[in-house]
Structure 1
Amino acid sequence: MPIHPTAIIEEGAEVHESATIGPYTLIESNAFIGEGCWIGSCVRIYGHTRLGAHNRIDHGATLGAAPQDLGFGPERAKPLIIGDHNHFRESVNISCGLKSEGGTRIGNHNYWMAFSHAGHDCVVGDHNVFANGATLAGHVEVGDHCFLSGQVAVHQFCRIGSYVMIGGVTGVTQDVPPYLLAAGNRARLIGLNVVGLRRKGFTQAQRSRIKQVYRLILRSGLPRGEALAQAAALYPGPETEAIIAFIRGSKRGVLPFRRSVRDTSLMD
């Protein structure tokens, strides 16, 4: 087992024999490190953390740390569950859970750039990218195939739909529905994530259907319930269903739409 002699593996921690543990790293009791994980130097893996297979954790990252919540006590800690093939760059910080039994959950194939953070009880899907300093407050939900640019800050309990891109230095205070772009000091919806959808293999027909649905919901002036009903009737398909389900499930409300000279995909 390639464990550096300066690393500390507390009694009660489970480390797969194929894992690599770098110098001055601490793996606390009750932590689980899965097959093929590579853990660099000065990393701390707190108890209640479970790592799946083939994750990479770079220098100074902390996984399963105590939530930044004044009501937290060690006896209230809930798990941090991480899937497979995630990459956590330097000084990434992910909190353990606090208020939900499932705790904090990270899926598969996510890339966390330096100093990005997820707070307690966040639920993150698969194939997402969090650029430098991107921050999720507690209870945030992120779908799949999202890109959060540098210094994005997402308010607690917000949801980010799948295939969303959020521009840099943006504060997100309400839900961002699937397939869209959001940006601004206080985030606004600015158009369809056309480039991202093309890269992920969405056909012209799919992109057109998404555009028509959002044009109806965001630009028609109809009451939200009526617009959703018309969208379901006029543009049936899985993308429409995903949009409608997301918006109907919103508790914080959906970000407002604004005109942007950079994107006219919902205006034409």
Structure 2
Amino acid sequence: MNNISPLAYIHPEAKIGDNNIIGPFCYIDKNTVIGDNNILQNNVTINYGARIGNNNEIFPGASISTKPQDLKFKGEDTTCEVGDNNSIRENVTISRGTASKGTTKVGSNNLLMENMHVAHDCVIGNGCIIGNSTKFAGEVVVDDYAIISAVVLCHQFCHIGSYVMIQGGCRFSQDIPPFIIAGKEPTKYCGINIVGLRRRGFSNELINNIHEAYRLLYSKGILKEGIEEIRKKLPVTKEIEYIINFVENSKRGIIR
């Protein structure tokens, strides 16, 4: 049974699961789907096209599936998908997709801190922590377990790898490869995210191999030559292959 404040508005075409708490002054539009066991505190807006899973907590002022801030958007029927077990804090805004991809996706078990923005057609993985007032432009991809500090500005189409730690206040327009710390001005490679990797159960041997992979990669002026050195000198585990594939498939280039 849902606990819905009489001061909330829910469109009759909205689909609401079971055991949800919907606080006063929430607004839930048509063409929305909300699963089970979610908590929507007061003044939460769930806009047209939202698809929200289970066990999420959404804090006051958050607006999910907002109209894209993209002048190319012509009102096409798109969605915004949010997984399970997310904490979406005060004043977070997540836009729905455009004709480019059709949907914006936020995975599960993420913490999206106060006042951060996820633009149209972004894809956010699982287990990410994204700091206060950080802004993602359109079609950014963030892989699992990334930690992105406060007031970070990310250019459209960038790709952020898994297990990274990005320093607060960074701004960048290139991809950030996995397992590293990125920081300073301009944003650059600052070493391996050793503490984060150890917390996630990476062995010392694997951490050493990741460190050596980046030493070889960045020791060459041409990244292709660095990748050749990695393949020659290191066991190509799934983590090393992930680094190689990330760099080879980067469209914007990686930070150096």
TM-score (normalised: structure 2): 0.96
CA distance in 2, matches of 1:172, 1:146: 16
Aligned twin of 2:12: 11
One-letter code aligned to 2:226: A
Stretch deviating more after TM superposition (177-186 or 104-113)? 177-186
> CA shift at 1:71, angstroms?
2.4
Q: Does 1:242 align with 2:247?
A: no
Q: Which residue in 1 is equivalent to 2:25?
A: 24
Q: Specify the SS of the correspondent of 1:217.
A: helix
For the 8 Å contact 1:49–1:81, the answer to whether it is kept is: yes
Mapping for residues 90-169 of structure 1, pairs under 5 Å: 90-169=90-169
**Aligned amino acid, residue 136 of structure 1:** F
Correspondences of 1:185-224 after superposition (within 5 Å): 185-219=185-219, 221=220, 223-224=222-223
Letter in structure 2 aligned against 1:126:
N
For 2:168, the aligned partner's letter is G
Alignment of 1:245-256 (within 5 A): 245-256=245-256
| Distance in 2 of aligned mates of 1:151 and 1:77 | 31
Count of matched residue positions in the alignment of Structure 1 and Structure 2: 254
Q: Which residue of 1 aligns with 2:48?
A: 47
Q: Counterpart of 1:63 in 2: which secondary structure?
A: strand
Tell me the CA shift for residue 234 of structure 1: 1.7
Deviations 1:145-203 (A, max 9, x none): 11111100110000000000100110021000000111123311111111111111111
Contact 2:51/2:81 (8 A) holds in 1: yes
1-structure distance, mates of 2:126, 2:245: 19
In the alignment, is the contact (CA less than 8 A) between 1:78 and 1:100 conserved in 2? no
Q: Secondary structure at the match of 2:217?
A: helix
The gaps in structure 2 that reach 5 residues or longer are none
Partners of 1:200 and 1:58 in 2: CA distance: 28
Q: 1:101 to 1:137 in 2, by over 3 A?
A: closer
Structure 2 counterpart of 1:56: 57
User: Could you tell me whether the CA contact under 8 Å between 1:127 and 1:145 is conserved in 2?
Assistant: yes
* Structure 1 counterpart of 2:140, one-letter code: V
Moved more, 40-49 or 178-187: 178-187
CA distance in 1, matches of 2:78, 2:247: 29
Tell me, yes or no, if the aligned pair for 2:73 and 2:99 is still in contact at 8 Å: no
Give RMSD over aligned pairs.
1.1
Query: Are the counterparts in 2 of residues 131 and 148 from structure 1 also a CA contact under 8 Å?
Result: yes
Distance in 2 of aligned mates of 1:175 and 1:36: 36
The letter of the residue matching 2:63 is T
Give the match's secondary structure for 1:241: helix
Counterpart residue identity of residue 214, structure 2: Y
Letter in 1 for 2:21: T
1:42-63 per-residue CA deviation (whole Å, 9 max, x = no partner) reads: 1100111100111110001000
Gaps of 5+ in 1: 257-268
- The runs of 4+ residues in structure 1 deviating greater than 4 Å are none
SS in 2 for 1:98: coil
Percent of aligned pairs with the same amino acid: 37
